[in-house]
Structure 1
C-alpha cells in the first residue's frame, strides 16, 4: 500500500509538471501538456486505482501550492479525476461461476468515457465562470473572433457593395436572389451555441486515446491485470441511445443545464463515431482486401478533415440500435 502511494505521488508530480508547462505557451509546452493524463492512467492501470487517486490529489495540490489554487482545481476537474475514474472502471471485474473474472465491457467503458468528457467540460466551465452569463459572453467573444478571421480569409470578405445595385436591396440579398445570407453575428451566436458539443467531441476522442495508449504501455511492461480486449467488438448498450436523446433535449434548457446537454450530445456523438469505426473493423474481418478497405476509410477521414465522422456516427448509432453484431438467443440451436 505504501509503495502504491509512493508511485502515485511521483506520477502526480510528473503529471502536474507536464500540465504546468502549458503556461510557457510554446509548441513544446503544448505537446507536453497533451501528455499530462498519461502518468495517472499508467499507475492506475499498472498498480492500483488508489495509486491513480493519490496521483490526482498530489498533482492538484502541487499546482495549487506552487502556481495557483485555480490551476490546481482546473487540473483536478479537467484531467486528473477523469484519468483516475477511467482507470478505475477499466480494471473493474466480477468473478464468474468458473472462477474466472468478467472484466468491465469496453462498450460501457466507451460510454463512460464520453460522459466523463462532458462532465469535465462543464466542471471546468463552472470553475472558470461561475456566472452563466459571463460564460456565454466569453463563448460569443471567441466565436465572433473565429468568424471574423474566417470572413477576412474568404474571397468575398472585403467586397464592397455595388453602387449600381437597386436601392433598398442589401449586398447579401442581391447575391442570393433576394434571400439574405446569415450575418456574422448570427453565425457567431450559432457557433457559441454548439461550442460545448464541439469541445467535448475532441475531448472524448482524446480521453479514449489516452486510455488506449496507457493500457498499451502497461501491457508491454507486463503489469496489465486484464487481458487485452477485442476492441473491434466494442458496442455500447442501447441505454446510451436514450442518454443521447435526453442530452439533445437537455441542450435546449437554460443555464448550465443546457451546456451539459450540448456537451453530452457532442461527446456521445464522438463515442458513436468511434464505435462505428470499431464496427467497420469488425465487419471487415476475413474479407479480401481488408487492408485496402481500412486504408481507404482512414484516408477519407483525413482528406475530409473529420466530415466523414458524421457518417461513422450514424453507423455507430445504427450498430447499437439494430444490434446486428449481437449474438441472438437462438444462436447454436437448430
Structure 2
C-alpha cells in the first residue's frame, strides 16, 4: 500500500500527458502548444514524487495511446515524450555527498540544458529514417508536404503569389528539420524549468533551487558544438543530422549567453530595461540568438562573467527577477 500514491500519481500524469499528446490531432494552434507541453505532467511526477512516478507516467501514457489511438502513437510518445521527460527528471534529482562533509552536490543545471539539446537533435534525427533513406528523398517528401499545404483551394485564405510561394516552399523544406530540433530543445528546457517551479511552490522539490545564471558547461560542449557545425558541411543525411545538433547546441549556447547577460548587468541601474529588451528582441527576431550563442562561446573561452560581472559575493545594486 505504500506505493499506491506513487502509482496513482504516475497514472494521473500518464493520462494527462497522453491527452495533451493526442490533442495535436485537431491541428489548431492551441493543440500544437498542448503537444509541446505533453512532457510536463511526467516531469511533475518525476520531480515531485521521484523518477519512479515519472517512469510509471511514461508507461501509462504509452499504453493509453497504444490502446486509444494506435501502436505508432504509443511508440512515438514513449520515445519522444515519456522517456526523455523521465530521464530529465531522473538526472535533475541525482546528487552525491560533497567532499569532506561539504554540501550535497546536485546534478549541474548546465548539463541538463545540454541533455535537452542532445535529445532535441536526436529525436528529429530518429524521425528521418521513418520518412526517407536519403537526403534527396527526405527533402522531396517535405517539399510534397508543403506543396499540398500551399495548394490553392476554394474558400482557403489568400496564399503568396506563385513565384513567392516557390521560394517559401524551398526555405521551409530546408529549415523545417532544424527549426523542429531547436524548438524541441527550447520546449524541453521550458518544461523542465516550469515543472521545477511548480514542484518548488508545492514544497515537493527536494533539491535547492539553483542559480541558473551561474550555470556552466563542460569543455566538451565547445568541441561538440564546433564538431557538429563542421560536420554540417558534409553531404547527405550525415550533414543534415549534424545540422540538427549544431542547431540544438546553438540554442544551448544562446541560453548560456543569456546567463552571461543576467550576470554582467547585475550592477547596472538599467538592468530591468536591458533584460526586457534582450528577451523582446529574442521573441521578435529569433536570429538574435546567434549573437547570444557567440557570447556563450566567449564565456566558455575567456570567462566573460568573471571578467565583467560584479565582484564575487557583492550584492546587486539593481533589482530584477532572476531567471
Aligning the two structures, in what range does the TM-score lie when normalised by the shorter sequence? 0.7 to 0.9
Pair 1:269–1:147, CA change in 2 (3 A):
farther
- Identify the residue that residue 76 of structure 1 maps to in structure 2: 78
Aligned residue pairs, count: 300
- Identify the residue that residue 21 of structure 2 maps to in structure 1: 19
Deviation at 1:19, TM superposition (A): 0.9
Could you give the per-residue CA deviations for residues 54-99 of structure 1, whole angstroms, max 9, x where no partner exists?
1111101110121110111111122111111111111111111316
CA contact (8 A) 2:66 2:73 kept: yes
Does 2:290 correspond to 1:310? yes
- Identify the residue that residue 163 of structure 1 maps to in structure 2: none
- Identify the residue that residue 171 of structure 1 maps to in structure 2: none
Larger Rg: 1
Deviation at 1:194, TM superposition (A): 4.4
Consecutive aligned runs of 4 or more in structure 1 exceeding 4 Å deviation: 142-149, 187-191, 252-256
TM-score by length of 1: 0.80
CA contact (8 A) 1:82 1:120 kept: no
1:277 to 258, 271, 277: 258
Pair 1:24–1:194, CA change in 2 (3 A):
closer
Deviation at 1:134, TM superposition (A): 4.4
Could you give the per-residue CA deviations for residues 107-141 of structure 1, whole angstroms, max 9, x where no partner exists?
11111110011112222333x42634643322233
- Identify the residue that residue 106 of structure 1 maps to in structure 2: 109
CA distance in 1, matches of 2:111, 2:306: 15
Pair 1:148–1:235, CA change in 2 (3 A):
farther
Residue 224 of structure 1 aligns to a residue whose secondary structure is coil
CA distance in 1, matches of 2:57, 2:306: 38
CA distance in 2, matches of 1:207, 1:75: 14
Deviation at 1:36, TM superposition (A): 1.3
1:230 to 192, 211, 221: 211
Superposition CA RMSD, Å: 2.9
Pair 1:321–1:39, CA change in 2 (3 A):
same
CA contact (8 A) 1:92 1:103 kept: yes
- Identify the residue that residue 164 of structure 1 maps to in structure 2: none
CA distance in 2, matches of 1:326, 1:242: 22
Gaps in structure 1 of 5+ consecutive residues: 159-182
- Identify the residue that residue 2 of structure 1 maps to in structure 2: 3
TM-score by length of 2: 0.82
- Identify the residue that residue 55 of structure 1 maps to in structure 2: 57
Residue 105 of structure 2 aligns to a residue whose secondary structure is strand
Deviation at 1:253, TM superposition (A): 4.6
CA contact (8 A) 1:201 1:266 kept: yes
Pair 1:302–1:193, CA change in 2 (3 A):
closer
CA contact (8 A) 2:232 2:239 kept: yes
Gaps in structure 2 of 5+ consecutive residues: 153-158, 313-323
